[in-house]
Amino acid sequence: MTSAIPVATHEPGEERPARPLTMFGPDFPFAYDDWLAHPAGLGEVPESEHGTEVAVIGGGLSGIVTAHELMKLGLRPVVYEAHEIGGRLRSTPFEGHPGVVAEMGAMRFPPSSTSFFSYVRQLGLRTTRFPNPLDVATPSTVVDLKGETHYAQTLDDLPPLYREVADAWHDTLAHGARLAEMQTAIRDRDVKTIKAIWDELVEQLDDTTFYGFLAASPAFRSFRHREVFGQVGFGTGGWDTDYPNSMLEILRVVYTAADDDHLSIVGGSQQLPVGLWRHAVEEPVHWPAGTSLASLHAGGRPLPGVTRLHRTAPNCLTVTDSAGGIRTFRAAVFTAQSWNLLSRIACDESLFPIDHWTAIERTHYMGSTKLFCLVDRPFWKDVDPRTGRHRMSMTLSDRMTRGTYLLDQGEGKPGLICLSYTWADDSLKWLPLSATERMEVMLASLREIYPDVDLRRHVIASPVTVSWESERDFMGAFKANLPGHYRYQRRLFTHFKQDDLPEQYRGLFLAGDDISWTAGWAEGAVQTALNAVWGVVHHLGGRSHPDNPGPGDLFDELAPVRLPED
């Protein structure tokens, strides 16, 4: 998504309160960051279980975090991955230009992702401010709508209509979603207040679309205001592609500042899962000092992708990979996009209760397309002496490109441009085109906005592109619940707590950002990975330390509200 209108109660760059907003809830307000940081660790398994193999299917961020934490506890994760470690943390290099990567998946991370950033710090990865629209890291922003182009360095540089739209959004959140109360409760980690507000809103808004919520607000009674908001949006950009989705999805983002003050990882986000794969743990349980996930796998590589998954006696899970290998496990964690269980992997229906299969089938994924080009230098920083403006700016448009991001790689290095970042229907428009064809259409659109800029003459490498809906093992960028999908999401998220499941359905755990309440954010991938770690430990007879209870230990107190199904 792409945006000029900030969503938080502060202006971009303004100092935050002493207590920051974090992704603490609202559906399940468990302090994952505190659980990770506690010196007692995440728990223990009986000594007799040390070295027990646990299948981890999928080598994206969620799978690697799961495997990393299980290894530290003395278990032996066996990771399966069809392609390369990273999943949608995919950093693609340009041939002949080492040191520059295009972030084809996740490229910006909110500071509120505190569990995610604990792993970033663990590996010593560097971050930098991401140049979102009107952010302090963005020299200038151009908003191009209906053929009118506006140049801005702050929101106040735009016509009054844009301030009206920003004010309408804040008014709508204040009166229709109790924004200030919820954000105060999240900062204070006030579980009782969070649940009181959120549980009521879930009952009120589960059947409401994002667009329906806006249209019902007196502040958005003007269609023109709703149209501009859809094109320009908030935080990172225009959210009209999200208009059909549940309003609850949007509130989770705004409450937790997920669309604010983003950081990028210098050198590429894929360094995080790859780094955890190679990371030598100093004092793992059971394993020698310096053991890594790579060292536990032959040749330092994960096993191939999974082609079959079924249950075998006694209460085991048998995994077949694409090389024909067959292994049986007492516990397994599935972290890939859940739709793979429907079409890419042969599965027994006995893997899950029928209600869980229904929830997987009803999962709604949004497509997304990106295209990056490498240019000789960050020419956009040049100032036109005639106008006093930058030659090119971060650009929001209703043209085919929608969002264009300018990424400075540092002094003396090439410049990187994300020519277009689109979602849903806008993404589908690119699907039949090759990377070169896509670039030609994008350059033509940008030429209408910047007629005096010959962008083509700066390009020094072939473009790189992705459409996640056409990636065979993803089939979409991320989950986005439609109205009425809360019950489905609850089933998937709470699947790690299996005490109430019939015994024949236990031992297989779901994780990944599409299982989380905050799909599309790396924090959700991490949080569900930690849920699965708790589930595996509990399944194998282990427990959390009494001083550091895990998500399953506090489940009854924190559980997401259950809506009636009759």
Q: What percent of the chain has pLDDT over 70?
A: 96
If you ran DSSP here, which 8-state letter would residue 349 be given?
A: G
Helix (H) or strand (E) holding 389: none
Beta partners for 129? 263
> 444-485: per-residue pLDDT in tens?
999 999 999 999 999 999 999 999 999 999 999 999 999 999
Place of tokens 């997987």: 360
CA 238 to CA 470: how far, in whole Å?
23
Same structural domain, 315 and 412: no
Does 415 lie in the same domain as 352? no
Q: Is the pLDDT score of 13 beyond 50?
A: no
Task: Report how far residue 62's alpha carbon sits from residue 87's, in angstroms, rounded to the nearest whole number.
Answer: 9
Are 407 and 354 contained in the same domain? no
Enumerate the β-bridge partners of residue 396: 143, 403
From the list 344, 272, 286, 227, the residue with the least C-alpha distance to 86 is 272
Place of tokens 């999240």: 186
With contact defined as beta carbons under 8 Å apart, do 104 and 464 qualify?
yes
Please state, as a whole number, how many other Cβ atoms lie within 10 Å of the Cβ of residue 135.
Answer: 21
We report the CATH number of the domain holding residue 449 as 3.90.660.10
Q: Quick one: which H or E segment has residue 467? A: strand 464-467
Q: What would the pLDDT profile of 52-86 be if each residue is shown by its tens digit?
A: 999 999 999 999 999 999 999 999 999 999 999 99
Claim to verify: residue 329 and residue 358 sit in the same structural domain: yes
Contact between 90 and 103 under an 8 Å Cβ cutoff? The reply is: yes
The domain boundary residue, chosen from 452, 475, 498: 475
Residue 10 has pLDDT above 70, yes or no: no
Based on the fold, state whether residues 353 and 378 are members of the same structural domain. Answer: no
Q: Are residues 275 and 343 in the same domain?
A: yes
- Which of 442, 457, 475 is where one domain is finished? 475
Number of domains comprising the chain: 2
Beta-carbon contacts of 366 under 8 Å, excluding residues fewer than 6 positions away, are 241, 242, 423, 424, 427, 476, 477, 478, 479, 480, 520
**d(C-alpha 335, C-alpha 328), whole Å:** 18
Mean pLDDT of the chain: 94
In a domain, residue 203? The reply is no
pLDDT on residue 411: 87
Q: Note whether residue 181 is domain-resident.
A: no
Residue 345 to residue 351: CA distance in whole angstroms: 12
Residues 6+ apart with CB under 8 A from 240: 229, 230, 231, 233
**Residue 294's CATH number:** 3.50.50.60
Tokens 């020299």, residue located: 139
Asked if the structure places residue 404 within a domain, the reply is: yes
Predicted confidence at residue 566, as pLDDT, reads 86
In a domain, 150, yes or no: no
- Clarify whether residues 420 and 444 are in a common domain: yes
pLDDT at 238: 78
Asked if residue 551 belongs to a domain, the reply is: no
Q: Which domain holds residue 79?
A: 44-88+266-363+480-542
Q: Are residues 354 and 433 in the same domain?
A: no
Note the pLDDT tens digit of each residue in 423-444.
999 999 999 999 999 999 999 9
Rounded to whole angstroms, what are the CA distances from 246 to 5, 89, 301, 452? 21, 25, 40, 42
Q: Which two tokens stand for residue 64?
A: 């690697």
Query: At 333, which amino acid appears?
Result: V
Domain presence at residue 21: no
Both 293 and 335 in one domain: the answer is: yes
Residue 235 pLDDT more than 80? no
pTM of the prediction?
0.95
Instruction: Say how far apart CA 324 and CA 451 lie, in whole Å.
Output: 57
pLDDT at 12: 40
Rounded distance, CA 549 to CA 552, Å? Answer: 8
pLDDT of residue 18: 58
Q: Using CB atoms within 10 A of its CB, is residue 301 exposed (0-12), middle (13-18) or buried (19+)?
A: middle
Shared domain check, 381 and 443 = yes
pLDDT (tens digit per residue) in 253-269: 999 999 999 999 999 99
The tokens 């709604």 sit on which residue? 364
Looking at the chain, the whole-number percentage of residues with pLDDT higher than 90 is 93
Q: Do residues 373 and 466 both lie within one domain?
A: yes
490 found inside a domain: yes
What CA–CA distances, in Å, run from 448 to 149, 394, 434, 451? 10, 15, 22, 6
pLDDT-based confidence at 4, cuts 50/70/90? Answer: very low
pLDDT reading at 94 higher than 70: yes
Q: Among 416, 442, 475, where does a domain finish?
A: 475
Q: Residue 239: pLDDT band by 50, 70, 90 thresholds?
A: confident
* Alpha carbon distance 59, 37 (integer Å): 24
End-to-end Cα spacing for the chain:
36
Q: What does the block give as tokens for 114? A: 């505190």
Of how many residues is the chain composed? 566
Instruction: Classify the phi-psi angles of 291: left when phi > 0, otherwise alpha if psi is within -120 to 50, otherwise beta.
Output: beta
Band of residue 19 on the pLDDT scale cut at 50, 70, 90: confident
pLDDT of residue 11: 43
For residues 29-47, average pLDDT: 97
- Residue 100: closest CA among 503, 347, 393, 378: 378
Condensed to tens digits (0 to 9), the pLDDT of residues 345-374 reads 999 999 999 999 999 999 999 999 999 999
Helix axes 247-255, 191-205, angle to 10 degrees: 160
Domain co-membership, 322 together with 351: yes
Predicted confidence (pLDDT) at residue 134 exceeds the cutoff of 50: yes
All residues at 6 or more sequence positions from 422 whose CB lies less than 8 Å from its CB, including other chains: 241, 368, 369, 370, 400, 401, 402, 403, 429, 430
Q: What pLDDT is stored for residue 16 in this prediction?
A: 47
Give the pair of three-digit tokens for residue 346: 């042969």
What pLDDT, in 10s, does the model give residues 289-346? Answer: 999 999 999 999 999 999 999 999 999 999 999 999 999 999 999 999 999 999 999 9
Contacts of 343 (CB under 8 A, 6+ apart): 475
- Is pLDDT above 90 for 128? yes
User: Is there a domain that residue 231 lies in?
Assistant: no
How far out from the chain centre does Cα 456 lie? Answer: 32
